[in-house]
Amino acid sequence: MFAGHFTPHFFLTPMSDTSHNLAHLNSTIESLSQGLAHAKTGAVRSLHSWGTALGSSDEPGLKAIADELKQLETVLGESEINGPKLKKALAALGKHTTAAAKSAEGATADKITELGKLLTDAAGQVG
């Protein structure tokens, strides 16, 4: 899905912004680590934030992830959550997030890989 080498633009920002992005990654990971039911509480705010950051990228792979985040936000915002739709959205997002991690570097790559795994695991929790 991702041609060539790229590093997401929001990881190429000044140190203070990079620290903010790592903190945002850590917060998202912590939330997902506590299980899907807990993660839903702050999910919409986090999805919107990540979608905005990734959607402004020139990289098609990151724009695709932003679109998937919007889809997940829509699914979570429905009055009654559709399990199959949620599972599909989480699985696709996990897969593409893990793929994106291969083009990141250092601690950022590790955190993105962890996030991709947690999203994939969350898809498996949906019955």
Give the lowest-confidence range in 22-31, 46-55, 77-86, 117-126. 22-31
Quickly state the pLDDT bin for 85 (edges 50, 70, 90). Answer: very high
What percent of the chain clears pLDDT 70, i.e. is strictly above it? 76
What's the pTM? 0.72
- C-beta contacts of 99-104 below 8 A and 24+ residues apart: 99/1, 99/2, 99/61, 100/2, 100/8, 100/61, 100/62, 100/65, 102/2, 103/2, 103/5, 103/6, 103/7, 103/8, 104/7, 104/8, 104/11
Residue scoring higher pLDDT (80 or 42): 80
Domain spans in the chain, listed from the N-terminal domain onward: 16-28+41-125
